[in-house]
Amino acid sequence: MTYVDAPSTERPPAAARRRWTGARVAGLLLMALWALLGLSIIYMLVVGYDPEEIAKYGPRILNGIWVTLHLVVLSILLGALISIPVALGRLSHNPIIGGIAFGYSYFFRGTPLLAQTFLVYYGAGQFTDALKAVGLWMFFRDAYFCAVLTFSLNTAAYQAEILAGAIRSVSSGQWQAAESLGLRPFITMRKIILPQALITALRPYGNEVILMIKASAIASIITVLDLMGQTRYAFSKTYDLQIYIWAAVIYLITVEVLRRLWEMMERRLTRHLRR
Amino acid sequence: MANYMELLSFGDSGWGDELANGVVVTVTLALATLPLGLLIGFLIAVAKNSTEPLLRNAAHVYTTIFRGLPELLTLFLIYYGGQMAMSALWRLLFGHAFEVNSYLAGMIALALVFSSYASEVFLSAFRGITLGQYEGAYALGLSRSRTMLLVILPQLIRLALPGLSNLWLNLLKDTSLVSVIGLTDLLRNTNIAVGVTKQAFFFFFVACSLYLIMSIISSFGLRRVSAWAERGQGGH
């Protein structure tokens, strides 16, 4: 999710100045198109304003936002926990451990999240008796818990790749220097390698959080009433497209706010690296 | 075990042919989306690279919207929004309703998402091409379009390929979302099979494996393409 202003240097020598270049006309037209689209959406929201509908579905949507938020936070945190052993496995020189970690990561990154969610949620239904016997049926019966479990396993695979890549990016001289100082591997990892690795990992982690927010909409398909779920419910009752527009606005704001906050945090945490 | 083999057999009793049809729909949907997404993504990247601030901002708005929205929501907006808009238009013009094709809606939604990510990949590839290349082309008297086509684009493909490969794998996975609006892709057919046979875990596991096989085959193919793009680079 990087945004860098286009450099003005990578251009052929400027042609003679013209007031109306093709690019300007195209830009103006496209901007007008966006403005038109934005205005028509605002018009739609204003004209279609229905206090009754808002009173009826507003609280549900707010509740949906709340569900989405804790679904994402819980999945990201659990995923971070699971990702640690997976990342260590990915870095391991032992072919069996490395192979298992690679297989895990490949499976969860190579298949659609929706299929994984179905696998866990509906797949658990096939083992009802066994799950009841071990007392886990309460857990797998609930779509919310299944979503959390699937999302955690999925994001763990991505986070493990981020973490392993970041640890690999720290030069081996750091390990050797720590070893020559007589530090134990665990201390080396915690005090020397991880602080440097996490700086590299910061941006990909931010992307992963944003991807998770977007992916969490998938939970609505297995009947979790998150923001998307409540939106789909309200749409099925009213057939009013406005509800999807509202949901889009909420998702966009959430993602945009998070992206900016993350950028600020990153700038603050890396201020010692800037000259 | 024999029971499972029978479930996957082709013909009336097994679901092998349905799953195979689903794979075909999934792959063709992804393949149909790819050129559209690449083209839009490239144009957006060119716009972002422009010196004209209006054009640049218009392109950034596009990326912000389609990268910020959940893919599922984009799909629903296109599907239901398109349905309503086209129906209103059709009723005005021909006096009857219009049925939006879920394949087309899926293709458009996936292309919007793919192109917004692809534009960022192309943009950073543009940054990897030095100013000297433009100046050299200018010194040879090439026009701007010839410069783009003959000098920049061949280098751009090489630089953008790793990023685009990832996006292709994402696209392949994102096609599964189209099953929600009723397109009979792999996941949808798997759902139908599960509904009839009640063998949920088995069938979804098979579906996941098929997706995995598709991405493994893609990876091999992409490696070939990458070797082709890197030819003449002195490496391997």
Residues of A in contact with B79 (CB under 8 A): none
In a domain, B235, yes or no: no
Quick one: average pLDDT of B194-222?
92
Residue at B89 is within a domain: yes
Optimal mutation site among A9, A10, A239, interface B, most CBs of chain B within 10 A: A10
Considering only CB atoms, A11 lies closest to which of B51, B73, B180, namely B51
Question: Nearest Cα to B98, choosing from B116, B110, B81, B115?
Answer: B81
pLDDT value for B15: 84
Q: What is each CA distance from A219 to A58, A138, A236, B143, B145, in whole angstroms? A: 20, 18, 17, 52, 46
Q: What is the dihedral of CA B116, B117, B118, B123, to 10 degrees?
A: 90
Buried b (16+ CB within 10 A) or exposed e, A224-235: bbbbbbbbbbbb
What backbone phi and psi angles, to 5 degrees, belong to A149?
-60, -50
Instruction: Please tell me what DSSP assigns to residue A12.
Output: P
Q: How many CB atoms lie within 10 A of CB B23?
A: 18
Give the whole-number percent of chain A exceeding pLDDT 90.
Answer: 63
Number of domains in chain B: 1
On whether residue B236 sits in a domain, the answer given is no
- pLDDT score of A13 more than 70: no
Question: Is residue B52 a contact partner of residue B60, using CB atoms and an 8 Å limit?
Answer: no
Q: How far is CA A123 from CA A169, B148, B185, B201, in A?
A: 39, 52, 19, 4
Report how far apart, in Å, the C-alpha atoms of B104 and of each of A22, A215, A239, B30, B154 are. 31, 22, 21, 12, 31
Condensed to tens digits (0 to 9), the pLDDT of residues B30-39 reads 999 999 999 9
Looking only at Cα atoms, what is the longest distance across chain B?
Answer: 71
| Residue A243 belongs to some domain of the structure | yes
Domain hosting residue B92, numbered range: 2-229
Within a domain: B234: no
For residues B190 and A122, the answer to whether their CB atoms sit within 8 Å is no
End-to-end CA distance of chain B: 45
Interchain contact, B54 vs A31, CB within 8 Å: yes
How much is the pLDDT for A1? Answer: 47
Q: A50: Cβ–Cβ under 8 A, 6 or more apart, which residues? A: A240
Rounded mean pLDDT, B209-234: 90
Could you give the CA distance from residue A148 to residue A138 in angstroms, rounded to a whole number? 14
User: Which is it for the CA torsion A27, A33, A39, A45, positive or negative?
Assistant: negative
* Domain of residue B51, CATH code: 1.10.3720.10
Mark which residues 69-128 of B lie under 8 Å from A by CB.
69-73, 76-77, 80-81, 84, 120, 123-124, 126-127
Q: Do B72 and A252 touch (CB under 8 A)?
A: no
* CB neighbour burial string for A153-184, b if at least 16 within 10 angstroms, e if fewer: bbbbbbbbbbbbbbbeebeeeebeebeeeebe
pLDDT tens by residue, B27-75 = 999 999 999 999 999 999 999 988 888 899 999 999 999 999 999 999 9
Convert the pLDDT of each residue in A161-191 to its tens digit. 999 999 999 988 999 999 999 999 899 999 9
Whole-number Å distance between alpha carbons of B71 and B73: 5
- For residue A255, give the CATH number of its domain: 1.10.3720.10
Residues of B in contact with A218 (CB under 8 A): 72, 177
The H-or-E segment that residue B226 falls in is helix B200-229
Q: What's the ipTM? A: 0.90
A23 → closest Cβ in B55, B129, B176 = B55
Q: Which residues of chain B make contact with A7, given a CB cutoff of 8 A?
A: 127
pLDDT of residue A14: 59
- Which two three-digit tokens encode residue A61? 């949507």
Tokens matching residue A81: 């926990």
pLDDT level of residue B230 (50, 70, 90 thresholds): confident
Q: Do A221 and B68 touch (CB under 8 A)?
A: no
Confirm if B33 and B171 have CB atoms less than 8 A apart. Answer: yes
Does A223 map to a domain?
Answer: yes
Please indicate, yes or no, if residue A33 is contained in any of the structural domains.
Answer: no
Number of domains within chain A: 1
Flag whether A260 is in a domain: yes
CB contact under 8 A, B52 and A24: yes
Task: State the pTM of this model.
Answer: 0.89
**Chain B residues within an 8 Å CB radius of A31:** 54, 57-58
Q: Which residues of B touch A113 (CB under 8 A)?
A: 173
Contact at CB, A112 and B211, closer than 8 angstroms? yes
Interface test with A, best of B73, B146, B172 (most A CBs within 10 A): B73
Q: What is the pLDDT of residues B166-187, one digit of tens each?
A: 999 999 999 999 999 988 899 9
Written as one letter, the residue type at A69 is L
Lookup: tokens for A19: 């007031």
Q: Is A29 inside any structural domain?
A: no
Asked if B70 contacts A44 with a C-beta cutoff of 8 angstroms, the reply is no
Rounded Cα distance, B194 and A222, in Å: 15
| Nearest residue on chain B to A103, alpha-carbon basis | B212
Given the structure tokens 């794998």, which residue do they identify?
A: B169
Provide the domain limits for residue A191: 52-273
